[in-house]
Chains A and B, each alone.
Chain A
Amino acid sequence: MERNIELYLRKRKRMQIILLSISLLFYFLLPLSLIFIPDVMNQPSFFYKMPRTWLYAILQIPMTWVFVGIYHIMVTRLERLMRKEELQ
């Protein structure tokens, strides 16, 4: 396999692993925190004194938007680079 193809595959894989691990860690920490530290999660937060677990759950919505946005930007950049190289 050509070296530049291998390089692109490696870059893409690294990006996928990093973004997926962080986002899924953030997601699964919610049910795990309810199992292991329920008292901490049920304490009132600064957000209208609702329990911290609510704040954490609501944060998952912007978290999803941010991660899918970052992924799109990074992959688009990678694809542009590939196409440019092919034209050359």
Chain B
Amino acid sequence: MNPTYFLFLLYIIVCTLIITYWAAKRTKTTPRFYVAAGKLTGYQNGMAIAGDFISAASFLGIIGMVALRGYDGFLYSIGFLVSYIVVLFLIAEPIHRLGKYSLGDVVCARFPDRNMRLMMALGTVIISIFYMIPQLVASGFLLRLLLNLDYSFSVLIVGILMTIYVVTGGMIATSWVQIVKTVLLMSGTFLLTLIVFSHFNWNVEYLIEKVKEGTPFGKDFFLPGHLFANPVEFLSLQLSLVLGTAGLPHILIRLFTVRNTFQVRRSLISSTWIIGSFYSMTLLLGFGTVALLGHEQLNALDPTGNIAAPLLAYTVGGDFLLAFIAAIAFTTIIAVVAGLVIAATTAFSHDIVHHIWKKGRSTEKEQLRAARLSALAIGMISTLFALSLETINVTFLVSITFIVAASSIFPVLLLTIYWKRFTKIGAFTGFATGLLSSLLLVIFGPHVMNPIDGWIREEPLFSLYNPGIISIPLGFCGAIAGSLLSRKRSANEFERFFARAQLGVDAGRDGKWKV
């Protein structure tokens, strides 16, 4: 075991545990546990959102994808970033105004119903666990690579850490772990970019020439089509990415952690600056990888490209820089999984236990105990899943998460906020159609059905890797059809709801509108 790698990882673990200890002393009430009592500033929340959003797939995956696939790899970054426009313009402020802790609160502000709450809670738990498994699996491989630890032991370390953060420190610990991660990630990526760029005498033209030499595609490396031969696949991917974030519960619940809509907007604007700057740097790092290491070497070491960043760090800065970058990758993973655990925990303990099981009658103390127990259970379940999935390629679960979120949660949220004719039945049919169609199209698609290395060794029944172009419209069609076929609600009721969601105004008993 290399002592540099070990010391860096130990440093990260100790720092995050100190943060958790500090946060645990402040997490004595349910608002503090679920949403940090709305006390974060816009800039802090923006950093936490970036920390929650930039996953291992982004940090490790995008650099490798750009290095191996060029333009097609970069398109992922663009979709991830532009999705924040949809979040900010359409749903961020209404979500903050209508909800308290969870997405179930938001939908129930218009349709107060136990089944509706159950549906949103199940959606949140499913999406969070789908997203958590590949992160945990990646952490297992990362620790095995660096410290030569056993896969199961590595997953257990990360699983235990994320559970400790959430069980003891709730949203306060999670937010500060994510803020620290963002600072480390941005400074580490910036440092690596400077070092890599200096190898090309700070000359973009020279870097581009070297990229052409390093790849077997030559100057064609810069043309699209090295990942997706079918242009419809491009369009489908872009659609899923741009709408997916607006359905990701772990990102959306962060909008409750600030005190007003001004801070909500400030959070999202600062996160887009961080995420945009980060992806600009990954583009240069991807080019640097292929120019310095060469396509053949990278492909021979890891055809998925996931260890491109650590390899690049080792090439330009030796063991020390590799240890630093690996520690950042580790922090990236633990910050994202902690965010996912808190999202699933809120949905389970607040929506299912407090509102559905206890019918909203549990005391503050009982709610807090239920939240901590839920976090423990969710942490354990996800870790067990990750332990049993070592030998199976689960990276496609990341893209599935975006497709499922964009096809099921997003249509329900959007139509709840904006469509007067939308009904409870429409919400159920839309959610069910979106969820089932996205899952079935993935199961019958080339990710799962593949004669060479699929879970099912057969020809795929559906040819697209990203079925969002079909499943997202199906989710909306299901919601619209269900609403049109069910009984209409009063228009006045919607007007009041809409004014509350959009402007934060409500009619008092005297009939006067108040902000």
Could you say which of A8, A16, A60, A76 contacts B90, with CB atoms under 8 Å apart?
A16
Bound together, the chains give a CA A72 to CA B328 distance in angstroms of 32
Q: Does B265 contact A (CB under 8 A)?
A: yes
Could you say which residues of chain A place their CB within 8 Å of the CB of B90?
16, 20
Could you say which of B89, B204, B265, B280 contacts A61, with CB atoms under 8 Å apart?
B280
Chain B nearest CB, measured from A14 CB (Å): 12
Q: Does B75 contact A (CB under 8 A)?
A: yes
Bound together, the chains give a CA A1 to CA B496 distance in angstroms of 8
Q: Does A40 contact B (CB under 8 A)?
A: no
Could you say which residues of chain B place their CB within 8 Å of the CB of A86?
514-515
Complex interface: stretch among B50-58, B78-86, B176-184: B78-86
Chain A nearest CB, measured from B350 CB (Å): 29
Complex interface: stretch among B2-10, B433-441, B497-505: B497-505
Judging by beta carbons under 8 Å apart, are A42 and B262 in contact? no
Judging by beta carbons under 8 Å apart, are B234 and A31 in contact? yes
Bound together, the chains give a CA A34 to CA B71 distance in angstroms of 12
Could you say which of A8, A28, A49, A51 contacts B503, with CB atoms under 8 Å apart?
A8
Beyond known contacts A50-B208, A51-B71, A83-B515: 9 more, CB 8 A cutoff: A12-B502, A20-B86, A34-B231, A48-B204, A61-B280, A68-B84, A68-B88, A72-B266, A82-B515
Of listed B82, B204, B223, B269, residue having the most chain A CB within 10 A: B82
Could you say which residues of chain A place their CB within 8 Å of the CB of B510?
none
Judging by beta carbons under 8 Å apart, are A71 and B265 in contact? yes
Q: Which residues in window 26-72 of A have CB below 8 A to B? A: 27-28, 30-32, 34-35, 38, 41-42, 48-51, 53-54, 57-58, 60-65, 67-69, 71-72
Bound together, the chains give a CA A58 to CA B242 distance in angstroms of 16
Bound together, the chains give a CA A12 to CA B90 distance in angstroms of 11
Top 9 A-B residue pairs of the complex, sorted by shortest distance between their CB atoms: A35-B231, A31-B235, A31-B234, A61-B276, A72-B265, A60-B78, A20-B89, A31-B238, A27-B82
Interface residues of B (CB under 8 A from A): 71, 74-75, 78, 81-82, 84-86, 88-90, 93, 204-205, 208, 222-224, 231-232, 234-235, 238, 242, 261-262, 265-266, 268-269, 272-273, 276, 279-280, 283, 495-496, 498-499, 502-503, 505, 512-515
Number of A-B residue pairs with CB-CB distance less than 8 Å in the complex they form: 126
Judging by beta carbons under 8 Å apart, are B262 and A79 in contact? yes
Bound together, the chains give a CA A47 to CA B205 distance in angstroms of 10
Chain A nearest CB, measured from B515 CB (Å): 5
Could you say which residues of chain A place their CB within 8 Å of the CB of B503?
5, 8-9, 12, 82
Residue of A nearest to B260 (CB): A79
Could you say which residues of chain B place their CB within 8 Å of the CB of A24?
85-86, 242
Could you say which residues of chain A place their CB within 8 Å of the CB of B512?
2
Judging by beta carbons under 8 Å apart, are A61 and B499 in contact? no
Judging by beta carbons under 8 Å apart, are A71 and B266 in contact? no
Could you say which residues of chain B place their CB within 8 Å of the CB of A20?
85-86, 89-90
Given A9-B498, A28-B238, A65-B272, decide whether A2 and B513 contact each other with a Cβ distance below 8 A. Answer: yes
Bound together, the chains give a CA A48 to CA B223 distance in angstroms of 14
Bound together, the chains give a CA A74 to CA B280 distance in angstroms of 27
Judging by beta carbons under 8 Å apart, are A64 and B513 in contact? no
Given A1-B499, A9-B499, A34-B224, decide whether A48 and B205 contact each other with a Cβ distance below 8 A. Answer: yes
Chain A nearest CB, measured from B468 CB (Å): 12
Chain B nearest CB, measured from A4 CB (Å): 8
Could you say which residues of chain A place their CB within 8 Å of the CB of B513?
1-2, 5
Could you say which residues of chain B place their CB within 8 Å of the CB of A23?
82, 85, 89
Judging by beta carbons under 8 Å apart, are A53 and B71 in contact? yes
Given A5-B503, A51-B223, A68-B269, decide whether A61 and B279 contact each other with a Cβ distance below 8 A. Answer: yes
Could you say which residues of chain A place their CB within 8 Å of the CB of B276?
61-62, 64-65
Pairs A–B under 8 Å by Cβ, sample size 6 = A27-B82, A51-B224, A61-B280, A65-B276, A72-B266, A86-B514
Could you say which of B71, B84, B266 contacts A64, with CB atoms under 8 Å apart?
B84
Judging by beta carbons under 8 Å apart, are A16 and B89 in contact? yes
Could you say which residues of chain A place their CB within 8 Å of the CB of B223?
42, 51
Could you say which residues of chain B place their CB within 8 Å of the CB of A28?
235, 238
Could you say which residues of chain B place their CB within 8 Å of the CB of A75?
93, 261, 265
Residue of A nearest to B88 (CB): A68
Residue of A nearest to B75 (CB): A57
Judging by beta carbons under 8 Å apart, are A54 and B71 in contact? yes
Given A34-B231, A79-B261, decide whether A68 and B272 contact each other with a Cβ distance below 8 A. Answer: yes
Judging by beta carbons under 8 Å apart, are A61 and B81 in contact? yes
Could you say which residues of chain A place their CB within 8 Å of the CB of B273?
65
Chain A nearest CB, measured from B276 CB (Å): 5
Bound together, the chains give a CA A51 to CA B223 distance in angstroms of 7
Of listed B75, B204, B232, residue having the most chain A CB within 10 A: B75
Judging by beta carbons under 8 Å apart, are B74 and A57 in contact? yes
Could you say which residues of chain A place their CB within 8 Å of the CB of B265?
68, 71-72, 75-76
Could you say which residues of chain A place their CB within 8 Å of the CB of B224?
34, 38, 41-42, 51, 53
Judging by beta carbons under 8 Å apart, are B222 and A51 in contact? yes
Could you say which of B204, B235, B268 contacts A35, with CB atoms under 8 Å apart?
B235
Judging by beta carbons under 8 Å apart, are B502 and A9 in contact? yes
Judging by beta carbons under 8 Å apart, are A19 and B89 in contact? yes
Bound together, the chains give a CA A32 to CA B261 distance in angstroms of 34
